[in-house]
Amino acid sequence: MDRLNGKRVTVMGLGRFGGGLGVARWLHAQGADVLVTDVATAETLAQPLARLPDGIETRLGEHAEADFTTADLVVASPAVSKPWNNPYLNAATNAGVPITTEIGLAIDRLPDRTRVIGITGTAGKSTTSAMIARALETAGQRVHLGGNIGGSLLEADIQPSDFVVLELSSFMLHWLGQHNWSPGTAVVTNIAPNHLDWHETFEHYEQSKRHIAAHQQDGDLLIADLWPELTTATRVRPIDDLPTLTLPGTHNRANAAMALAAVSVTLHRHGIAHDRATLAGAIATFPGLPHRLQLVATHASVSFFNDSKCTTPEAVALAVDALADRTPREQIHLIAGGADKGVDLAPIADLARTIGSLHTIGTTGPRICELAANGKAAHHGTLEAAFQEAVGQASEHHAVLLSPGCASWDQFTNYEERGAKFADLVYRWIAARPQRVQPTQAD
């Protein structure tokens, strides 16, 4: 794979937001003969298609088996679920064509795996990754943040002395299993059932997550309260010696403690002097990421929180717990639901017993209400209808929280579009009631 000049490479999946764009551009720059194939239409993919360089072929609206069996290399999108059952990938395998992914190509080209901090987990991995990158930069290091959080590392200028912070999804880790590779520092925030539509079983999901530490070596570092049988790496216990965090919630304190431990021990491993209190301060003042418990605005003492990135039932409970640090649970009005990923929805439904009200949307909405089985849960179908009902029940010092606990693709392109729609509804509602408006930054 190091000699790509003149090789025929099929990139499976461009994605509506250009998930395959970075790898396609990089392969083209290496001199490869690149074909991008996607079942979506040209109209749907207009935005990323406009950013493809001249010379890259496309096949849109369908896949053709010959593109997979006659290539020298296939680069599969991690979004392709149950890849072991995919007929096109199986055809490539049967034809002897090697298959990799963007993240596989990227890790093969990282200069020093001991300077890579990899983060995974069912919830909190994006926030923890961003906290780690912020602390490393505070320590004066050159840092590259990539992986599942966005941005292809293939196009980054990574020097041997740089640090790489790599958010790794279960999909990515499934594919990385074929590389026998783990980062020098591995962080696992937590594990709960998720993406069972992709993995089919929780056992497969967890096994994929295990790849983050399965190939660590002597001297490597593991920050996780899981998998005690993994003993090659040094297991590090996070210490909560942080000041008050900008982000609410005990789960974010846990994320912050893991981030501080990861940065501190990694810098120590490389003999880089640092002040732990300074690192702790950088992490504590981290303002948060968009769509992750983001405080959109406060109007008439009602606060509106956008947690659209939340796509697991367990993470909804964490979001409610976080707000309950500041707002009584009975004053929290939750909007939840979306596409069905095949997981247990009871953790969302159970919240109806203690919060002010639960308003459901999307495919999973009726099932959540059925499980809730009380008058404080109602299905409204659309986000617009749920928002109007939720805000209608909110009064002074209450909070309206969008924390879906489900995927977005039944009604939205992605979680960003869903979160933007929620914010738009908030601003339109405020505009109709112009008094004591307090827009805020991400919380």
pLDDT (tens digit, 9 = 90+) per residue, 76-123? 998 899 999 999 999 999 999 999 999 999 999 999 999 999 999 998
- Identify the CA nearest to 419 among candidates 393, 385, 386, 383: 383
Which residues fall within 8 angstroms of residue 237, CB to CB, at 6 or more apart?
Answer: 261
Q: Are residues 166 and 18 in the same domain?
A: no
Tell me what pLDDT residue 287 has: 82
**Domain containing 178 — which CATH number?**
3.40.1190.10
Q: Has residue 18 got a pLDDT over 80? A: no
Q: Are residues 15 and 44 in the same domain?
A: yes
Q: Has residue 436 got a pLDDT over 70? A: no
pLDDT category of residue 442 using cuts at 50, 70 and 90: very low
Tell me what pLDDT residue 434 has: 66
**Domain containing 413 — which CATH number?**
3.90.190.20
Cα 218 to Cα 89, 114, 183, 215, 301: the distances in Å are 35, 11, 12, 10, 54
Rounded to 5 degrees, φ, ψ at 14 are: -85, -40
The residue-averaged pLDDT of 227-247 equals 93
Q: Has residue 31 got a pLDDT over 60? A: yes
Q: Has residue 17 got a pLDDT over 80? A: no
The residue-averaged pLDDT of 262-285 equals 97
Residue 45 forms part of a structural domain: yes
* SS3 at position 442: coil
- Identify the CA nearest to 212 among candidates 349, 75, 116, 140: 116
Q: Are residues 413 and 302 in the same domain?
A: yes
Q: Report pTM.
A: 0.82
Residue 423 forms part of a structural domain: yes
Instruction: Between 345 and 16, name the one with better pLDDT.
Output: 345
**Domain containing 25 — which CATH number?**
3.40.50.720
pLDDT (tens digit, 9 = 90+) per residue, 396-435? 999 999 999 999 999 998 999 999 999 999 999 999 986 5
Q: Are residues 271 and 141 in the same domain?
A: yes
Q: Has residue 201 got a pLDDT over 70? A: yes
> CA torsion 294→195→123→422, rounded to 10°?
10
pLDDT (tens digit, 9 = 90+) per residue, 34-88? 999 999 999 989 989 999 999 999 999 999 999 999 999 999 998 899 999 999 9
* SS3 at position 356: coil
> CA torsion 159→162→167→172, rounded to 10°?
30
For residue 185, list its beta bridge partners: 117, 221
Q: Report the percent of the chain where pLDDT is more than 70.
A: 97
Domain that holds residue 246: 105-284
Q: Are residues 278 and 312 in the same domain?
A: no
| Range scoring the smallest mean pLDDT among 32-36, 78-82, 276-280, 304-308 | 78-82
pLDDT category of residue 206 using cuts at 50, 70 and 90: very high
Q: Are residues 111 and 95 in the same domain?
A: no
Residue 289 forms part of a structural domain: no
Q: Are residues 72 and 138 in the same domain?
A: no
CA dist., res. 274 & res. 136, Å (int): 10
For residue 357, list its beta bridge partners: 333
DSSP, residue by residue, 131-142: HHHHHHHHTT--
Q: To which residue do tokens 């990694």 refer?
A: 266
The residue-averaged pLDDT of 245-256 equals 90
Classify residue 53 by its DSSP letter: P
Q: Are residues 138 and 176 in the same domain?
A: yes
Q: Are residues 150 and 90 in the same domain?
A: no
What's the mean pLDDT when you consider all of the chain? 94
Residue 192 forms part of a structural domain: yes
Residue 3 forms part of a structural domain: no
CA dist., res. 307 & res. 348, Å (int): 14
Q: Are residues 302 and 231 in the same domain?
A: no
Token pair for residue 3? 């000699």
Instruction: Between 27 and 193, name the one with better pLDDT.
Output: 27
Number of domains in the chain: 3
The residue-averaged pLDDT of 298-303 equals 93
CA atoms within 13 A on the CB side of 405: 33
* Domain limit, last residue, from 100, 119, 137: 100
* Domain limit, last residue, from 260, 284, 308: 284
* Domain limit, last residue, from 69, 100, 131: 100
Tell me what pLDDT residue 356 has: 97
Tell me what pLDDT residue 2 has: 60
Q: Are residues 121 and 204 in the same domain?
A: yes
Q: Report the percent of the chain where pLDDT is more than 90.
A: 87
Residue 13 forms part of a structural domain: yes
Q: Has residue 437 got a pLDDT over 50? A: no
Residue 1 forms part of a structural domain: no
Q: Are residues 175 and 264 in the same domain?
A: yes
Residue 191 forms part of a structural domain: yes
